[in-house]
Amino acid sequence: MRPHLLFITRNYPPRVGGLETFSYHLIREFQEDGGALKIALHKAKPHLAWFLPYALLRAIALCRRHSIRQVHLCDGLLAPIGVLLKRALGVRISVTVHGLDVTFPFPGYRRLIPGCLRRMDRIVCVSRATRAACLMRGVPAVKCEVIPNGIDPRAVAPPPDPGRLLREVERRCAFSLDGRRVLLTVGRLVPRKGVAWFVPNVMPRLPGEFVYLIAGDGPERGRLDRLIRDAGMRGRAALLGRVTDALRNALLARADVCIMPNISVPGDMEGFGIAALEAGAAGVPVVASDLEGIRDAVLHGVTGYRVPEKDGAAFADAILRLRLDRPSIREAVCAAFGWPAVADRYRRFLFVCDSVSGRGARRI
C-alpha cells in the first residue's frame, strides 16, 4: 500500500515519557494500515537542534518521493516545520497539541507557536482545556477537534511476580503495606501535580489505615521529603523515586485509589492526565482535582471522582466514600480511550473533506 500520511515526532522510544508513549501508539495504529511513514527523534532533547532541520529536509524528500499530501506533527513545538512544509510543497498539515506546547510562557515562544498553529489545516487538542487555550490564542475553532490521549491496557498489566516488587516498595517505605489502604500518585514531582498540597492538607484527615505512595522524581522531591517529616507522616507517606514500568504496574495492582491532586500553576497547565488512564486501565479508581485536562481524563462517577481544587475535605470525603467496581472501571476506560477507538477518531477528523480550505482529502 502506498503511504499517504507522514508523521513527525520529536518524542519517541526508547526515550520514556507521556509524549513518547503517545507518539509510539498513534503512529503504530496508522502503520498497521500500511499507509504511514514516520520521522522520529529517538535521542535526548539536546539533539533537537539538529533534528528540526533534518526533519524538514527529510519530510520534503519523502513527500516528493511517495506523493504524500498529508503530514501530521505530534506536538505543537513542531508547528514551524508545518508552516515551511506548506510553503514548500502545499501539503496539508495537522498537529496534536497537548497543553504546555500551547501555553509555554517564554516570550519568543508565545509569539511564534500560536501564529504557526493558526496556519495549520487541522489541530487535534487532547482535551477541552487544551482547545480553549488554542482559541484564546486566536486559533480558529473550525480547525480544532478534541480527541483524547489513548491507552494500551497491556502496558499496565500486572507483572508475573508483583509480591517481590512490593516487598521492594516496603523496603523503600520502611513500613508494611499489610492491612493498609494504598493511595498512589505516579508522575513527575513538579508544583502543578499538587502532591505538596495533598500531604499536609488531606492525609491528616484520613484514618491511619491509609498510606500514600508517591512514585516519580522531580524538583519538588526535597520539599516533599521535608513536608512528610513535618506533617508527621513518615510512617504513612513515602517517596519511591523513579520506578520501572513493572514496579508501577505492581503498584497499580496493589493500589486502592489513584490520587491526582493537581493545582493551577500559570503557564504550566495539565493538558490531559495520562496517569488517570493508566490507573483506569488497571481498574484503579481515581480521585482528582476538577481542573484543566483532567476533566476529560476522569469520567466522573464512572472511573473516579473529580473534586474542587485544593479542597481537602472534599478529597478526603471522596476517598472515604469511593465505591467503584474495578472491572467496570477497566471496561469504561478501554471503551473510551483504547488506542483503536482513539485512532479511528483521528482518521475521521484528519481524512475528511477540508471545510476550511475547500480541498478534498482521501479517506482511509
Calculate the CA 287 to chain-centre distance: 17
Phi-psi region of 210 (alpha: psi -120 to 50; beta: other; left: phi over 0): beta
Q: Give the pLDDT score at 360.
A: 40
pLDDT above 70 covers a percentage of the chain that reads 96
Across-strand partners of 6?
37, 71
The class that CATH gives domain 5-150+339-350 is alpha beta
pTM: 0.87
b/e per residue 158-194 (b: at least 16 CB within 10 A) = ebeebeebbeebeeebeeebeebbbbbbbbebebbbb
Q: Give the pLDDT score at 350.
A: 85
Do 5-150+339-350 and 153-337 agree at the fold level?
A: yes
- Domain locations in the chain? 5-150+339-350, 153-337
Contact 269, 100 (CB under 8 A): yes
CATH 3.40.50.2000, applies to 153-337: yes
Q: Which residues of the chain have pLDDT under 50?
A: 353-364
Q: Give the pLDDT score at 362.
A: 38
Q: Give the pLDDT score at 224.
A: 96
Q: Respond yes or no on whether the N-terminal peptide bond of residue 14 is cis (omega within 30° of 0).
A: yes
Spatial CA neighbour of 322 closest among 292, 296, 302: 302
Cα dihedral across residues 47, 49, 53, 55: positive or negative: positive
